[in-house]
Structure 1
Amino acid sequence: MFEIFLVMLCGLSSRVLAKDAVSKGKFSSPVLENVRERQLVLEKNQTLQLDCRGRWDIEWVFPSGVPKSYPGAQLERSSCGKRANQFCSRLTLSPALAQHTGAYRCRYAHKPHRNTSVYVFVADSQRPFVKVQRESPAVVYMKEGENLVFPCKVTNPHTKVSLIKFPNSQIEPDQRNIVWNSRQGFVIRNSTLSYIGLFSCKTVIDGTTYTNTFLTHRPVNKINDVYLNSTGAVQELQGHMLALNCTVTAELNSRVSIDWSYPARANNSASIIKRIMPSRNRMAFYSVLTIRKLSKADGGVYTCHVESGPAKRQANTTVTVHEKPFIKIKHRDGPVVTAHAGQKSFRLSPKLRAFPEPEVIWLKDGKVAAEQCSRYRVDGYSLLIRDVAEEDAGVYTILTGIQQFKLFQNLTLSLVVHVRPQIGEKAVAMRDPGTIPRASRQALLCTSYGVPPPRLRWSWYPCPPRGRPARLA
């Protein structure tokens, strides 16, 4: 008996759970109760009434033609269902006008993706297009990979509309590449450059012609180059002016946005001037950032950000602000440096930091180096010696100065040139000494030279017995 009761209880429980599951699934999205079709057609000045039911709090989304403050739109909220645990909302729109044509959406406030909608046409024979023609054509953008849409939506789904390209070329829809949609307008799926120009949607009602005119524009987003007027790091003195010019080159018809990020941007310390210079085959955009009086807080990275549609580029530089001019100089490898005679080149290069750029003169043994020998050349802060020779040894002095601020500083270093040892007698043809009597005294001379002075060592080879090779003693 107990087993039968348990089976009945389990069956009852499963039916209750199933019923709850169906109930929950039924209102997983809100439901429009008084709508059976996906679209409604009303006449102008009629009343639109929509009832929406759901499990949670409900909100409405109206077409763009219905202002939020429209007095004819009223909402009534109530609890509904057998246990009053559901949410109901009634939308009343009266009077409905042509510009109210569009999709009306009912959705959960906390889950906007859970929604249901109906498209409402409010037919008006004197206003066949939802949007009234303006004085100037509306701009329609052609974007690569996207449909070209002429948004001439109508207030009556049965309105016959033609697409005309100026001056009088009619484009027939084929429902494949050229599609007419009363809720969107004309959709061109594979648009080409032939669709650049002036177009109009045209309809005739009771002998009256109505049009919506559009001008197509193909935006160009390719950025060719972005560069600053300073290719390297920028150094300036405190209180002086900084001017950075960001130049952008792009194709014709480009629309470019230029923005700057810099250390003191929050203080609005910089003024920015922008200019556009079109030419035959390109566009040049300029943005000049100027800070009249630099402070230490203005030091850091300055970045020019450029956008053209989805395309983005940037260029940056580092600005260092010095409190006062300076010269700092010291030896790189000590006060004495060494080179070797015969080297193709040798560089005397101390460590030198200065701002502004100093004047540099190199002396050799108290005289201007470049005037003593054509093999000496000043390269930046360094002295370059080509084809090093023994006579290049000496005392070198670098003179640095910033005349504008009366700053001067010198540094002296010595150059030692090593010369490979040489034996003078090897350069002279040796005569055969001939036969020397035994026990006689002979003098052998060896003359050598080198830097540093070489050391000499004598070796002799005794005469071997006849038939045997000589060996070193």
Structure 2
Amino acid sequence: MKLVFAYVLTGLCGVFAKGRAQKGKFSVPSLDVKTRQLVLQANQTLQLNCRGRWELSWALPEGLARDQGSVQVKGSRCGRTGQQYCSCLTVGSALAQHTGLFRCRYQHRPRKQASVYVYVTDSRRPFVEVLGKSPDVLYMKERQPLVIPCRVTHPNVTTLLVKFPDHKLSPDQRNIVWNSRQGFTIRSPTFFYVGLFFCQATVDDVSYSSHIYIVHRPVNNIMKVFLNSSGPVRKLKGERLALNCTATGALNTRVNISWNYPRKENRAGSISKRIMNSGSHMLFYSILTIPKLQRSDRGLYTCQVTSGEKIKEAKVNVTVYDRPFIRLKPRHGSVLEAYAGQKSFRLSPKLQAYPEPEVVWLKDGTVAAKHCSRYLVQKNSLVIRDVAEEDAGRYTVLVALKEHRLDRNLTLTVVVNVSPQIGEKAVSLQDPGTVPRGSRKALHCTSDGVPPPHIQWLWHPCPSKGLPAAPQA
């Protein structure tokens, strides 16, 4: 009885093991070729079959477009029970530019894939890339390898790297590494590798040259970033906004300028760019323009400049008003006190207005600047230099937006305090002499000042026994 139970248990384990094996099958698609690369002759037909658990798709080399007539893909259900998916890729009359990696992958899981590299050999064309009229630019980045992509159509083609005009470099597999699928890789490039390069191959005693490449090493040196407005920007609804972001960089610097602003997602603004070489440095301009501002356009505008890993920004706040306005009121009350002899005294009311208003100051009804040369208008303020008693009076500020027919005025009273002065001090007084006892003598004290001074008399009795006497009121 125990033997029978063991047999049944063993059979069940076999079923589970088979289930696990079936479940793991085709976790990635499977190609009908078992090698990692194929070599075809030009004009031959390439056919690849792929099988998998889910629906399949193909990724083709850059030189082969799916909509070309020579490319055909046929899909079907396959397997004993039709639970699998099969796809057949056919490329008729393969050409040298079709050389590259062919990948079969799951549509919804593209990382699950099987691939094969196919060389399409053409004895008259050893290089895959087509010769162009103008060189391609390759950017050398700091601490990154440089790849010169002169791929070949046969794995055994021997190539040399040539720096223009005729400096030939052979692969040493240490710093200069050759790979028929990629080209030349310079692991630690220096400034020597800046310039014109191409690859050279010899097939049947005939020399062929690849496409020409310009190796450029960009400099990531952003010197300065600034906007055309150094302070907050104020605009009316419906007006045009133009912000110019300027970046200066060292020669050979290449930058990317991007904007962040309130309605960026709605593409409210348009951006134009320009580059200038000033001789000693580069100037990069990016102009953000919003034709008609809305209230929703108010907020922070940021110009961000990047070059490699370096980032610099310039920011400005934009305020959008619905209509023109003037707000005017005293800052420290309507009556102000100054002091005669004061070097300067400023009348500065609280003023908020947009657009920029016209400001005129009056002194007792006449234009202040014409009234006295010591009066100076600075923006919205009136400055009185070397304050004198005659500067007391009524000062009126007139604020106007003539274009919009708006105006406001405010009158401030200035009181000039003058230190008390005793008139008799300015006159040489005679000694009153001796006055007989019991007689009457009149003493006069003349004083003026603002506010009017208070006069107090003090009596200094004659000293006795040579000691000074204390004054008495």
| Shorter-chain TM-score tier | 0.7 to 0.9
1:316/1:145 CA distance change after superposition, 3 Å: farther
CA distance in 2, matches of 1:243, 1:31: 58
Structure 2 residue 106 is matched with structure 1 residue 128: no
CA distance in 1, matches of 2:235, 2:75: 69
Q: Which residue type is aligned with residue 146 of structure 1?
A: Q
User: Which residue in the other structure is 2:250 paired with?
Assistant: 251
User: Which residue in the other structure is 1:318 paired with?
Assistant: 318
1:342/1:18 CA distance change after superposition, 3 Å: farther
CA distance in 1, matches of 2:119, 2:423: 115
Map 1:439-454 to 2 at 5 A.
none
Map 1:26-425 to 2 at 5 A.
26-35=25-34, 37-70=35-68, 71-80=70-79, 82-212=80-210, 213-235=212-234, 244-255=243-254, 275-286=274-285, 300=298, 303=301, 305=303, 310=308, 313=313, 315-316=315-316, 318=318, 320=320, 323=323, 327-339=326-338, 345-366=344-365, 368-370=367-369, 376-385=375-384, 392-401=391-400, 408-417=407-416
CA offset at residue 33 of structure 1?
4.1
Work out the percentage of aligned pairs sharing the same amino acid.
Answer: 52
Residue 237 of structure 2 contacts residue 295 of structure 2 at CA under 8 Å; is this kept in 1? no
SS at match of 2:16: helix
CA offset at residue 249 of structure 1?
2.9
CA offset at residue 159 of structure 1?
0.5
Q: Which residue type is aligned with residue 179 of structure 1?
A: V
Q: Which residue type is aligned with residue 75 of structure 1?
A: K
- Count of aligned pairs between the two proteins: 466
SS at match of 1:16: helix
Residue 263 of structure 1 contacts residue 297 of structure 1 at CA under 8 Å; is this kept in 2? no
CA offset at residue 284 of structure 1?
2.6
Q: Which residue type is aligned with residue 198 of structure 1?
A: L
Residue 337 of structure 2 contacts residue 414 of structure 2 at CA under 8 Å; is this kept in 1? yes
Q: Which residue type is aligned with residue 133 of structure 1?
A: L
Residue 247 of structure 2 contacts residue 305 of structure 2 at CA under 8 Å; is this kept in 1? no
Residue 361 of structure 2 contacts residue 398 of structure 2 at CA under 8 Å; is this kept in 1? yes
CA offset at residue 215 of structure 1?
2.0
SS at match of 2:62: coil
TM-score, normalised via structure 2 length: 0.76
CA offset at residue 236 of structure 1?
5.5
Q: What are the ranges of 5 or more consecutive residues in structure 2 without an aligned counterpart?
A: 427-441, 459-469
1:141/1:327 CA distance change after superposition, 3 Å: same
SS at match of 1:53: strand
Residue 250 of structure 2 contacts residue 281 of structure 2 at CA under 8 Å; is this kept in 1? yes
Which range is displaced more, 416-425 or 118-127? 416-425
Cα-to-partner distance string for 1:384-424 (whole Å, 9 max, x where unaligned): 34566666543322233456677654321123456789999
SS at match of 2:97: helix
Which range is displaced more, 117-126 or 17-26? 17-26
SS at match of 2:231: coil
User: Which residue in the other structure is 1:22 paired with?
Assistant: 21
Q: Which residue type is aligned with residue 228 of structure 1?
A: L
CA distance in 1, matches of 2:27, 2:271: 54
Residue 348 of structure 1 contacts residue 383 of structure 1 at CA under 8 Å; is this kept in 2? yes
CA distance in 2, matches of 1:244, 1:360: 28
Q: Which residue type is aligned with residue 350 of structure 2?
A: K
Q: What are the ranges of 5 or more consecutive residues in structure 1 without an aligned counterpart?
A: 428-442, 460-469
User: Which residue in the other structure is 1:437 paired with?
Assistant: none
1:344/1:17 CA distance change after superposition, 3 Å: farther
CA distance in 2, matches of 1:400, 1:344: 27
Q: Which residue type is aligned with residue 283 of structure 1?
A: M
CA distance in 1, matches of 2:86, 2:293: 64
CA distance in 2, matches of 1:175, 1:272: 47
CA offset at residue 76 of structure 1?
4.4
User: Which residue in the other structure is 1:465 paired with?
Assistant: none
1:367/1:76 CA distance change after superposition, 3 Å: closer
Residue 71 of structure 2 contacts residue 89 of structure 2 at CA under 8 Å; is this kept in 1? no
CA offset at residue 39 of structure 1?
1.9
1:408/1:32 CA distance change after superposition, 3 Å: closer
CA offset at residue 117 of structure 1?
1.4
CA distance in 1, matches of 2:119, 2:204: 20
CA distance in 2, matches of 1:343, 1:329: 27
CA offset at residue 79 of structure 1?
1.7
CA distance in 1, matches of 2:49, 2:268: 58
Q: Which residue type is aligned with residue 252 of structure 1?
A: L
SS at match of 1:159: coil
1:299/1:126 CA distance change after superposition, 3 Å: closer
Cα-to-partner distance string for 1:275-300 (whole Å, 9 max, x where unaligned): 443221223344556778x6767964
Which range is displaced more, 23-32 or 304-313? 304-313
SS at match of 1:194: helix
